[in-house]
Structure formats: C-alpha cells, structure tokens
A = this chain, B = another copy of it.
Amino acid sequence: MSEIESDAPPPRRPTMKDVAREAGVSTSAVSFALNNRPGVSDSTRRRVIRVADRLGWRPSSAARALSGESAGAVGMVLARPADSLGGESFFLQLVSGIQASLAPRDQALVFQMVDDVQAECELYRRWWAEGRVDGVIVVDPRVSDPRPETLAVLGLPAVIIGGMEAPGSPDAPQLPRRARLSNIWADDSGAMDLIVRHLYGLGHRRIGHIAGTPGFAHTARRIASLRAAARRLGLEHAVSVTTDFTDRQGAKAARRLFSAPVPPTALICDNEVMAVAAVSVAAERGLLIPRDVSVVSWEDSVICHTLHPQLTALVRKADEFGGRAAAQLLALLDGGAPRQLQDPLPRLESRESTGAPPA
C-alpha cells in the first residue's frame, strides 16, 4: 500500500443540521422523525431516516444529555486496593454481564476504581454534579455503608449488588423516600448452609473459615451464618479468620488455623484465590487434600477446576448476576419502582477437594 497523500475530507461528525439540509426539512422535523414522535408524515419520516442512515448520523450523547437530562451511561466503582483483586475473576465476569445488558440499550458503562468508600461517595457526588451517569451499580456493600445514604440524598438511581440486609430486617437503614435504590441480595446464609451441610454430611465437625474483609457486609453475614449453623448442628468448633482477600493473608489465615491445638478438618475460603493459597499451605505442611483436610472455595473460576485436586466450589454465574443487576438499573431508569430481589442460591459443585475427615 502506498503512502496516502490526499487525506480524506476532514472527518466531521454529521449533525442533525446536515441531515435536515440533505432531507430538505428543518431540524425539528428531523428530531421528530428520528425519535418516532408525531409531527411528520410517514413519507418524510422514512426519507429522513434514510438520509440519517446514509450519513451515519448518531445523536451526540453530550447534546442529548444536555437537553434530555439523560447521560446515556451508568457508572460502576470498585473500591478495593488493586492488589486485592489479583487473581479474582469475579469482577471481570460481573462487568461482562453488566455490559451485555447495557449494550442493547446503548448505555455506556463508566468504570472507575478508587481507594475506599469515602472516595467512592465523592465520586458519586462528582458524577452526579457532572451529569455523567444516570445511575450506578454498587458492589461490595459494607456493614456500615455510607453509600446508600449518599445516593439517596443525591437522588441518583442505583442497584446495590449483594447488599443491605434482607428486606424487613431491623438493621436495614432508613433512607429518604426519594431514594431510588434497588437491591439484589445474595442469600449468603443459605449458601453457607449449603456448604456446612455438605461438610457435615461428610463427617466434618471442625470447620475453619477464611473470611474476607471484616467491613464487608457479606463477610459479616457469612461469619454469622457459619456460627449459627455450627450452633444448630452442634459442631465441635467453627472459627472464622478475616483477611483482605489476598493470597498472602489467605495463606496466613490457613497457617493460623492449621496451627491450632485442634486444627479444623475442613476449610471454607471466601474466594478462590485464598482457596488456592490454603491448598498451597496444606501442601507445605504435608497435608493431603482431601484425605487430611477438605477445602471449599466460595467462588468458582477456571483454576478451581484446572488445579489438582479440583476444588469444590460454590458456583454462581457472575455474568448473569451482573446482567440482572444492570437490567434492574435500567428498569429503575425507566421509572420503575425500586425492588428488593434475591439472587438464586448458588450451586455447590462438589469436586475432589472435599471428602471424609481423617479418622
């Protein structure tokens, strides 16, 4: 291919004015025609649409946002230190699902990572003031979370993923009635029961739990659920150790649990990265899985079934989860009422890493 000498005509994005001129009508007529509003004849409408198509016209999102009050975008913020997401595949899958829901509606996704929830609230305020997004998807709810309050005050629609207490819970925060917050909550308690029953059925009576970050709502719920289940079943003991979700602290927690005078015979790990770390620590100590210790990962990903032994894991389709959340947000943006809905209980896929405890 030879050097291209004559640059193509300066590329200017076509505007409604161009379409109007070309079609021989006013810009208002173009607007009516393209938005399926009454005010133009069918023949004109068709002509305008044809011209717009030919010119490759697309509404300027900025102009539309300015007059239409809709930014055509939703936001998502991740408030975790980058290193704590090392090998977690959950979020990429989640985002992938969110996309899939958003794309057909031509909604863009604005994504940002920040250090903490304070910064996240700041960012929400900024996005709101800038009119950058129409709504947001909130992840990783905390036990005492300032975000719902912030969003409620701003009147920014949001879907909180895995958040808040079960509806009707006395702990559920009271928010201004204006709040347009939907909530998709995961039944952590039910999921924990699933795991504990599986382990109990295999004969385990001493369970260690490598949990997530203390401030996270789901961490708190899981810890409480484990304790409740332990009481109910009369387990010898069930200990939760909190971490920051990294392999490092996962390994540390595993060492600590293994070093107890009466070590657990089964480990529940709140993500797959820590599950792998736990397996690794077990190997270090010469413990065979599942002969000496069983391991369950609360989150599935390729490594869980690529590794040997394959890890028993709680399987939830993160992309479908994200898709549902985005759909909820769109419903909210369409004027729908806020809803509380529960995500289906994940499935516990039993693989090679769980078995009967040593005699």
Question: Interface stretch among A41-49, A88-96, A183-191, A343-351?
Answer: A88-96
Residues of B within 8 A of A96 (CB): 82, 85, 113
- CB 8 Å contact bits of A261-277 with B (1 = contact, 0 = none): 00000000000010011
Contact A176 B85 (CB under 8 A): no
The listed residue with most B CB atoms (<10 A of its CB), out of A62, A63, A113, A308, is: A62
State whether B59 touches A62 (Cβ < 8 A): no
Q: Which of B7, B61, B66, B130 sits near A132, CB closer than 8 Å?
A: B61
Which one, B56, B126, B280, contacts A308 given CB within 8 A? B280
How far, in whole Å, are A4 and B307 apart by their CA atoms in the complex? 52
Nearest residue (CB) in B for A71 is B62
In chain A, positions 64-90 with a C-beta closer than 8 Å to chain B are 65-66, 71-73, 82, 85-89
Task: Please tell me if A302 contacts chain B, counting CB pairs below 8 Å.
Answer: yes
State which of A20-28, A104-112, A199-207, A328-336 sits at the interface with chain B.
Answer: A104-112
Which one of A8-16, A31-39, A210-218 is at the B interface? Answer: A8-16
Asked, given contacts A273-B302, A302-B87, A306-B276, whether A56 binds B3 with beta carbons under 8 Å apart, the answer is no
> CA–CA, A174 to B8, complex, Å?
14
Give, as a whole number of angstroms, the nearest-CB distance from A61 to chain B: 4
A155: chain B residues within 8 A (beta carbon)? 10-11
Contact of A56 among B11, B109, B125 (CB under 8 A): B125
- Contact A109/B111 with A13-B131, A130-B59, A306-B273 known, Cβ cut-off 8 Å: yes
A233 surroundings in chain B (CB, below 8 A): none
**Of A56, A59, A95, most B-chain CB atoms within 10 Å:** A95
**Please, how many angstroms separate the alpha-carbon atoms of A60 and B127 in the complex?**
9
Q: Give Cα A305–Cα B277 distance, bound, in whole angstroms.
A: 9
The residue on B at minimum CB distance from A156 is B11
Q: In whole Å, how far is A174's beta carbon from the nearest beta carbon of chain B?
A: 5
Tell me the nearest residue of chain B to A68, going by C-beta. Answer: B62
Question: Which residue on B lies nearest to A87, using beta carbons?
Answer: B302
Q: Judge if A287 is at the interface, Cβ distance under 8 Å.
A: no
Are B129 and A276 closer than 8 Å at their CB atoms?
Answer: no
Instruction: Confirm or deny: A288 has a beta carbon within 8 angstroms of a beta carbon on chain B.
Output: no
Smallest Cβ-Cβ distance to A76: which chain B residue: B111
Query: Known interface pairs A61-B132, A66-B60, A66-B66. Does A110 touch B280 (Cβ–Cβ under 8 Å)?
Result: no
Mark A171-194 against chain B: 1 for CB-CB distance below 8 A, else 0: 001111110000000000000000
CB of A153 within 8 Å of the partner chain: yes
Q: Contact: B302 with A247, CB < 8 Å?
A: yes
List of B residues within 8 angstroms of A11 by Cβ: 153-155
- List the B residue with the shortest CB-CB distance to A58: B129
A58 to B122 Cα, complex, angstroms:
12
Minimal beta-carbon separation of A167 from chain B (angstroms): 16
CA distance A72 to B114 in the complex (A): 18
List B contacts of A95 (CB < 8 A): 111, 113
A14 to B129, CA, bound (A): 7
| Pairs across A and B, CB under 8 Å, 11 listed | A13-B128, A60-B65, A60-B129, A61-B132, A62-B131, A72-B130, A82-B96, A87-B301, A95-B113, A273-B302, A303-B303
The 10 A-B pairs with the shortest beta carbon distances in the complex, nearest first, are A62-B65, A58-B129, A86-B302, A87-B302, A82-B96, A61-B130, A111-B111, A62-B66, A247-B302, A1-B174
With A14-B129, A92-B92 given, can you name 4 additional A-B contacts, CB distance below 8 Å?
A: A4-B175, A87-B306, A273-B306, A276-B307
